Amino acid sequence: MDAIRSRAPWIFEPSPGAGDGSGTSVATDAVFPSVVAPFPASRRLEPDLRARLTALFLEGQEIWNRFETEVRQKEWHPFIHGNYERILDALLAQMALGSEGPSAPRRFLEWGSATGVVTIMADMLGFDAYGIELDADLVEVARRLAERHDSQARFAAGSFLPEGYRWRPPDGDGRSGTLGDGRSAYPELGHGLDTFDLVYGYPWDGEAALMTDLMERSGGPGARLLMHGGAGKIRIFERGRP
Ligand SMILES: C[S@@+](CC[C@H](N)C(=O)[O-])C[C@H]1O[C@@H](n2cnc3c(N)ncnc32)[C@H](O)[C@@H]1O
């Protein structure tokens, strides 16, 4: 796996523990065991990085506002954005978890990366960061956003479902909600799903089980999945090691 490109650019102050009401939760109904992540109740980023992230989030919000008016109000579209500050906290917590050892997450993938804000954020934090998005127009938006913010985040147009993957839940209802069909994007990325240490997704209702199943079946050993939920809660799962 690629090494993190820069030294950890933040100062981490240990938190009193998980579940402090600050946004990261740990699911108990997961298909595979969840990870209790220490949550950085207070953390300070280097001022330059904090300013870059703020500028990115603001522009992401502006793009979303335009998208909402110009696209979503005319025709339904599955893109809604996550809570960027909560996602930032969750990424920092993951980095702090493994910062001293070989388990430090290095390669990041966003499933359904839309305008690319989360993938670009991960790149700014030092991850080798990739995003997959089905809507090719949004992929173009993400690439231009990355350029404007001097980010090396990479994006591929297509589906985050690997070729041949089928969702087969125990109740037999294999509909995949709002998730669209398309050519799998992993060949274009040049990296299989099992090579990513950290994967992030924002499922619509009913899609979370598919995401955990996909991670369990095709993710790398020990890889983690961050799933955005309602009210900005981020659930964290770790795939088992054989
Ligand atoms: C709820 S939005 C999440 C946006 C972004 N990840 C975030 O958290 O701000 C889901 C995104 O997934 C995309 N999408 C839907 N099905 C997909 C698929 N099979 N492969 C890749 N992207 C998909 C949608 O177009 C949409 O942009």
Distance 151 CA to ligand 1 centre (A): 20
**% of the chain residues with pLDDT over 70:** 76
Question: Is there an atom of ligand 1 within 6 Å of 128 CB?
Answer: no
Print the domain residue range for 82.
Answer: 23-238
Question: Is there an atom of ligand 1 within 6 Å of 161 CB?
Answer: yes
Asked whether residue 70 is domain-assigned, the answer is yes
Asked whether residue 115 is domain-assigned, the answer is yes
Hey, is 130 helix, strand or coil? Answer: strand
Secondary structure of 133-170 as H, E, C letters:
ECCHHHHHHHHHHHHHCCCCCEEEECECCCCCCCCCCC
Which of 39-43, 96-100, 120-124, 223-227 is predicted with the least confidence, judged by mean pLDDT?
39-43
User: How much is the average pLDDT of 170-177?
Assistant: 73
**C-beta of residue 198 within 8 angstroms of C-beta of residue 172:** no
**Residue 59, Cβ density class (10 Å: 0-12 exposed, 13-18 middle, ≥19 buried):** middle
Asked whether residue 141 is domain-assigned, the answer is yes
**What is the structure's pLDDT at 104?**
64
User: How much is the average pLDDT of 121-149?
Assistant: 97
Q: From residue 22, how far is each of 18, 89, 154, 230 by CA, in Å? A: 9, 9, 30, 14
Question: Token pair for residue 91?
Answer: 């990424």
User: Residue 178: is its pLDDT beyond 50?
Assistant: yes
Q: What's the CATH code of the domain at 110? A: 3.40.50.150
Alpha-carbon dihedral 192, 195, 200, 204, rounded to 10 degrees: 40
DSSP H or E run through 50: helix 47-67
User: Residue 23: is its pLDDT beyond 50?
Assistant: no
Mean residue pLDDT across the chain:
81
Distance 159 CA to ligand 1 centre (A): 9
**What is the structure's pLDDT at 185?**
98
**pLDDT tens digits, one per residue of 34-44:** 444 444 544 67
Asked whether residue 152 is domain-assigned, the answer is yes
Asked whether residue 214 is domain-assigned, the answer is yes
User: Residue 205: is its pLDDT beyond 50?
Assistant: yes
Confidence grade of residue 234 (pLDDT, cut at 50, 70, 90) = very high
Which residue matches tokens 């870059």? 52
**% of the chain residues with pLDDT over 90:** 62
**Residue 172, Cβ density class (10 Å: 0-12 exposed, 13-18 middle, ≥19 buried):** exposed
Given ligand 1 and candidates 138, 161, 178, which is best to mutate, with the most ligand atoms within 8 Å of its CB? 178
User: Residue 11: is its pLDDT beyond 70?
Assistant: no
**What is the structure's pLDDT at 45?**
87
Asked whether residue 160 is domain-assigned, the answer is yes
**pLDDT tens digits, one per residue of 68-96:** 999 999 999 999 999 999 999 999 988 87
Number of domains in the chain: 1
Question: Is there an atom of ligand 1 within 6 Å of 134 CB?
Answer: yes
Which of 36-50, 89-103, 172-186 is predicted with the least confidence, judged by mean pLDDT?
36-50
Asked whether residue 27 is domain-assigned, the answer is yes
**What is the structure's pLDDT at 86?**
93
Asked whether residue 94 is domain-assigned, the answer is yes
Question: Is there an atom of ligand 1 within 6 Å of 202 CB?
Answer: yes
**C-beta of residue 110 within 8 angstroms of C-beta of residue 200:** yes
Which residue matches tokens 């659930």? 235
Length of the chain (residues): 242
